């Protein structure tokens, strides 16, 4: 049937397939059946419940930003704050701006809410007095508060909570921590300068990477405009400033590197073929491969991780090599159509097949995003081979008569010498191999922002990068009781402040105990200094009203929004307490030992590091499995001797790439290991084409072109200021260059084209 095919039949078949895929993809995108996920915490699927809770708990902190303003004349700082506050409020993505956190608390609402439970709440000293059954504190505090010249909390609670225990409790909770007060402004002092804070709350949308850059740009513009007349010292703190800085730089780098490498690749391709048509054909092959990968991806997965796309699209670059091999084979052999397809079929199936098998092994790793890479690359490569065998074989560029020739043979000693050097470097560096998974080494935040964070941290302590204690309970009440037990145990191991919703809501049991204790004091007339001021009807109400318990639902809105919510999953309730300064392992172990129930301690940097470590280990297993699969295929097709030689090229190239990366950086990371997949895939292709077609000019030319374009595309990444991208680029550059060199020097005796077809 193939004999009756002409090039237009093939073109129509390809076009039909492509349009079918494109239509499917567009329909899927239109109906948004698949969404894009950019959260690094979602890379690993394990312990998903905890991940979700931590993400929800950290969101309020991520949406906060802090600005510190200092001037040698404090009044100027306050004027500056007053000037920029309304301007910042007008910025899209900013939800609130305040100079004093107390402004965010609706005092009237708080006083009304807590006064409804007049006997339930006791401040810490009052709670201690209760534990000692000592009513002296209550009376003393009552007289103190009443003596003060006008306290709105006292007058606001006195009618319903006449013992002033509620006023005492609210005054204690409203404490502003390490800030000092200047009228309605807060401040902290450093080197005789007052730093006035401006607390900025952002909307969830503002934290999206693309929006973050715009939001921060707008904020900076306002700060600069207001800073022109007087020179203020400004310090910023918050996730958004980091996210925006890193995103802006990554965008700039990607655009710059992408443009340079694109120009380079176009020039190399055009110069190699001296025609634009091969460039167009190569572009068709890439477009088809990417469309196929994306279509299958959106059909199989509901949520696609951004990182999967990034890696998958970079690996699809392997497919470009097929275009070069086909087009250069056509040019140098004069073959076209079915003849060219038959000529290319074994090598394409072998190189594509080995890559496909390698990537399909990712299915056995229990990490969702790697499954997505496998699906994308498999579909993409399959369609690339189809495009190659159909479109490119039937529409090649044969501009002149066949000019096939064998490339000059390089003496064997060069190959041996280079191999020995490579093995030596690998052996030396191999003894130093050290993998590091600490997320902080990937930190590419500009130094001035890091300095700002350090300054803010030293001045007022860490306020925005919390660590979490995750607690679980059968009910809200059980959870609140666990909060209290944890808080008490925590205070015995650290002076660090524990932040949680229980600060404003004691457990029902504690509320009832408090109420009963106060009621018994009234019944037994143990408050002689307070009693004369209480009206009889107030007393009767306190004594006879049923004791109600405040629950989360009754918390004032302005308080509820300050803390991570209690979440329900199935029959369980989950909640988090947060703290800021890191605790030592022994402190954390002591905390767990003290508690009669299990808590989950979550330190996000450690959690991310652990996620990277797990990912790296899985990639290590994958690389091992890929190597074994490649070895099997090579041995099956080429026999022991040639198979071993051909496998040694990608392995040596990957080994050298890791060795050079280790020697360069002093350590290795996941982002040095990831490109090894690419190095193996590219170098297997180089050696397969060499083996299948011999050391012919078109093969060597195609390998050189493929290697150069890969080196250009990935090598540019070495110039990146983002550590992970730089590591990826360096390893790929060295691996591809080393593989190319080895292939070029590979002696003909190692490539002796024997009758291996019989082994199939």
Partner 1 sequence: MRGLFFAWLLVSATAHSDTLDWPAQPPQQGQFEQHKHIKVLAQPFVSQGLYSYNRQSGIVWRTQQPIENTLIINAQGVFETQQDGSKTLLTANTRMSELLLVLFSGDEQLLQMHFDLKKTVNHYLLQPIDAKLRKLFAKITITFDNNLISQISLYEPNGNYTDIFLGERAATEPKVNAP
Our finding on whether 151 is near partner 1 (CB under 8 A) is yes
Q: By CB under 8 A, which span of 61-69, 143-151, 309-317, 364-372 interacts with partner 1?
A: 143-151
Determine the interface stretch with partner 1 among 48-56, 113-121, 141-149, 233-241 (rule: CB under 8 A): 141-149
Among 11, 171, 360, 410, the residue binding partner 1 under the rule CB under 8 A is: 171
Q: Distance of CA 648 to CAs 430, 561, 644, Å?
A: 17, 60, 6
Instruction: Classify 577 as helix, strand or coil.
Output: strand
Q: Does 431 bind partner 1 (CB under 8 A)?
A: no
Which of 125, 215, 117 has its CA nearest to residue 175?
125
Contact flag: residue 143 with partner 1 (CB under 8 A): yes
Instruction: Based on the shown chain and the rule CB under 8 A, indicate whether residue 102 belongs to the binding site for partner 1.
Output: yes
Among 33, 95, 140, 443, binds partner 1 (CB under 8 A): 140
Structure tokens belonging to residue 397: 């560029």
Burial class (CB in 10 A: 0-12, 13-18, 19+), 514: buried
Asked if 147 touches partner 1 (CB under 8 A), the answer is yes
> Judged by CB, which is closer to partner 1: 283, or 562?
562
Which structure tokens are listed for 174? 């409203």
533 binding partner 1? (CB under 8 A)? yes
Give CA–CA dist 76/83, Å, rounded. 10
* Alpha-carbon span 697 to 702, nearest angstrom: 8
Judged by CB under 8 A, which of 19, 90, 124, 180 binds partner 1?
A: 180
Segment interacting with partner 1, rule: CB under 8 A, options 26-34, 178-186, 456-464, 502-510 = 178-186
The residue from 12, 15, 152, 267 that contacts partner 1 (CB under 8 A) is: 152
**Segment contacting partner 1 by CB under 8 A, of 62-70, 170-178, 326-334, 662-670:** 170-178
Length of the chain: 760
**CB of 479 within 8 A of CB of 564?**
no
Tokens of 226: 């207001």
CB of 100 to partner 1, least distance (A): 8
Does position 538 bind partner 1 by CB under 8 A? yes
Q: What is the DSSP string of 132-154?
A: TT--HHHHHHHHHHHHSS--HHH
Compare residues 167 and 743 and give the one whose CB is closer to partner 1.
Answer: 167
The stretch among 145-153, 669-677, 687-695, 726-734 that binds partner 1 (CB under 8 A) is 145-153
Closer CB to partner 1, 267 or 529, in the complex = 529
Nearer to partner 1, 412 or 497 (CB): 497
Q: At 375, list the tokens.
A: 């699906």
Per CB under 8 A, does 100 bind partner 1?
yes
Assess 707 for contact with partner 1 (CB under 8 A): no
φ/ψ of residue 63, rounded to 5:
-85, 10
For partner 1, how many residues bind (rule: CB under 8 A)? 36
Spatial CA neighbour of 198 closest among 61, 87, 65, 60: 65
**Phi and psi at residue 567, to the nearest 5°:** -110, 150
Judged by CB under 8 A, the residue of 170, 281, 292, 460 near partner 1 is 170
Residue 400 phi/psi, 5-degree rounding, is -150, 180
Q: Is 155 in the site for partner 1 (CB under 8 A)?
A: yes
107 binds partner 1 (CB under 8 A): yes
Does the footprint of partner 1 cover residue 153 (CB under 8 A)? Answer: yes
Tokens of 478: 């059980």
Query: Is 528 near partner 1 (CB under 8 A)?
Result: no
Nearer to partner 1 by C-beta: 186 or 673?
186
Nearest CA to 176 among 165, 184, 163, 186?
Answer: 186
Q: How far apart are CA 582 and CA 274, in angstroms?
A: 62
**Contact call for residues 740 and 686 (beta carbons, < 8 A):** yes
Binding span for partner 1 by CB under 8 A among 101-109, 206-214, 314-322, 635-643: 101-109
What is the Cα Rg of the chain in Å? Answer: 34
Asked if 529 touches partner 1 (CB under 8 A), the answer is yes
**Whether the Cβ atoms of residue 101 and residue 176 lie closer than 8 Å to each other:** yes
CB of 494 to partner 1, least distance (A): 21
Which residues, at least 6 apart from 369, have a Cβ–Cβ distance to it below 8 Å? 42, 43, 305, 307, 308
540 near partner 1 (CB under 8 A)? no
Stretch that binds partner 1, among 140-148, 436-444, 630-638, 652-660 (CB under 8 A): 140-148
With both helix axes pointing from N to C terminus, report the angle between 670-693 and 318-333 in degrees, rounded to the nearest 10.
20
Indicate which single residue of 13, 299, 534, 547 sits in contact with partner 1 (rule: CB under 8 A): 534
Q: How far apart are CA 324 and CA 271, in angstroms?
A: 13
Beta carbon nearer to partner 1, 144 or 231 = 144
The least CB distance from residue 551 to partner 1, in Å, is 24
Give the Å distances, CA to CA, from 379 to 130, 141, 170, 281: 70, 74, 62, 19
Interface residues toward partner 1, by CB under 8 A: 100, 102, 107-108, 140, 143-144, 146-153, 155, 158-159, 162, 170-171, 174-176, 180-184, 529, 532-536, 538
């Amino acid at each position: 049937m193939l004999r009756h095919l002409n090039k237009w039949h093939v073109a129509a078949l390809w076009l039909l397939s492509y349009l079918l895929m494109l239509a499917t993809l567009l329909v899927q995108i239109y109906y948004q059946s698949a969404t894009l996920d950019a959260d690094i915490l979602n890379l690993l699927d394990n312990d998903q419940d905890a991940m979700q809770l931590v993400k929800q708990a950290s969101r309020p902190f991520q949406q906060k930003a802090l600005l510190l303003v200092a001037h040698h004349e404090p009044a100027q700082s306050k004027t500056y704050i007053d000037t920029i506050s309304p301007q910042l409020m007008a910025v899209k993505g900013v939800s609130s701006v305040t100079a004093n956190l107390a402004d965010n608390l609706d005092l009237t609402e708080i006083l009304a809410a807590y006064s409804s439970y007049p006997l339930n709440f006791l401040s810490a000293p009052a709670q201690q007095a209760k534990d000692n059954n000592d009513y002296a504190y209550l009376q003393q505090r009552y007289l103190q508060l009443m003596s003060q010249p006008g306290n709105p909390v006292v007058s606001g609670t006195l009618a319903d909570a006449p013992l002033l225990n509620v006023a005492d409790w609210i005054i204690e909770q409203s404490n502003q921590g390490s800030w000092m007060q200047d009228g309605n402004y807060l401040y902290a002092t450093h080197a005789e300068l007052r730093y006035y804070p401006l607390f900025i709350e952002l909307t969830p949308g503002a934290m999206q990477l693309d929006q973050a850059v715009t939001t921060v740009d707008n904020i900076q513009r306002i700060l600069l405009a207001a800073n022109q007349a007087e020179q203020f010292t400004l310090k910023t703190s918050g996730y958004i400033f980091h996210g925006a800085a890193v995103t802006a730089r990554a965008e700039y780098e990607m655009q710059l590197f992408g443009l340079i490498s694109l120009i380079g690749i176009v020039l190399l391709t055009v110069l190699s073929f001296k025609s634009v048509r091969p460039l167009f054909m190569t572009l068709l092959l890439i477009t088809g491969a990417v469309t196929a990968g994306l279509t299958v991806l959106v059909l199989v997965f509901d949520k696609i991780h951004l990182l999967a796309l990034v890696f998958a699209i970079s690996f699809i670059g392997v497919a470009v090599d097929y275009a070069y091999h086909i087009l250069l084979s056509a040019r140098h052999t004069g073959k076209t159509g079915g003849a060219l397809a038959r000529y290319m079929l074994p090598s394409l199936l072998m190189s594509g097949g080995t890559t496909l098998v390698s990537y399909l092994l990712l299915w056995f790793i229990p990490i969702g995003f790697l499954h997505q890479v496998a699906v994308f690359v498999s579909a993409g490569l399959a369609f690339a081979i189809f495009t190659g065998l159909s479109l490119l074989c039937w529409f090649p560029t044969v501009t002149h008569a066949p000019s096939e020739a064998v490339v000059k043979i390089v003496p064997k000693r060069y190959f041996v010498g280079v191999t020995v050097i490579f093995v030596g470097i690998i052996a030396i560096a191999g003894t130093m191999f050290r993998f590091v998974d600490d997320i902080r080494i990937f930190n590419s935040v500009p130094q001035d922002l890091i300095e700002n964070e350090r300054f803010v941290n030293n001045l007022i302590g860490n306020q925005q990068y919390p660590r979490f204690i995750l607690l679980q309970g059968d009910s809200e009440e059980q959870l609140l009781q666990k909060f209290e037990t944890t808080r008490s145990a925590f205070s015995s191991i650290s002076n660090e402040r524990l932040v949680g919703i229980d600060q404003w809501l004691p457990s029902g049991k504690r509320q009832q105990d408090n109420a009963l204790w106060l009621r018994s004091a009234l019944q037994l007339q143990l408050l002689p200094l307070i009693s004369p001021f209480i009206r009889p009807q107030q007393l009767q109400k306190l004594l006879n009203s049923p004791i109600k318990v405040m629950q989360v639902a009754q918390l004032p809105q302005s308080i509820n929004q300050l803390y991570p919510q209690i979440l329900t999953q199935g029959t369980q309730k989950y909640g988090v307490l947060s703290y800021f300064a890191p605790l030592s392992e022994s402190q954390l172990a002591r905390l767990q030992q003290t508690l009669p129930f299990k808590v989950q301690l979550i330190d996000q940097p450690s959690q991310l590091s652990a996620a990277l470590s797990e990912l790296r280990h899985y990639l290590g297993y994958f690389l091992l499995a890929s190597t074994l699969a490649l070895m099997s295929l090579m041995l099956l097709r080429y026999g022991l001797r040639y198979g071993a030689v051909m496998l040694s090229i990608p392995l040596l190239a990957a080994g050298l790439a890791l060795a050079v990366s280790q020697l360069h950086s002093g350590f290795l990371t996941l982002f040095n290991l990831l490109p090894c997949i690419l190095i193996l895939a590219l170098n297997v292709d180089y050696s397969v084409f060499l083996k299948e077609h011999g050391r012919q000019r078109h093969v060597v030319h195609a390998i050189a072109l493929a290697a150069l374009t890969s080196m250009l595309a990935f090598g540019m990444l070495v110039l990146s200021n983002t550590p992970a991208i730089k590591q990826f680029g360096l390893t790929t550059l060295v691996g591809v260059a080393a593989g190319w060199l080895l292939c070029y020097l590979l002696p003909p005796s190692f490539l002796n084209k024997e009758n291996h077809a019989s082994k199939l």
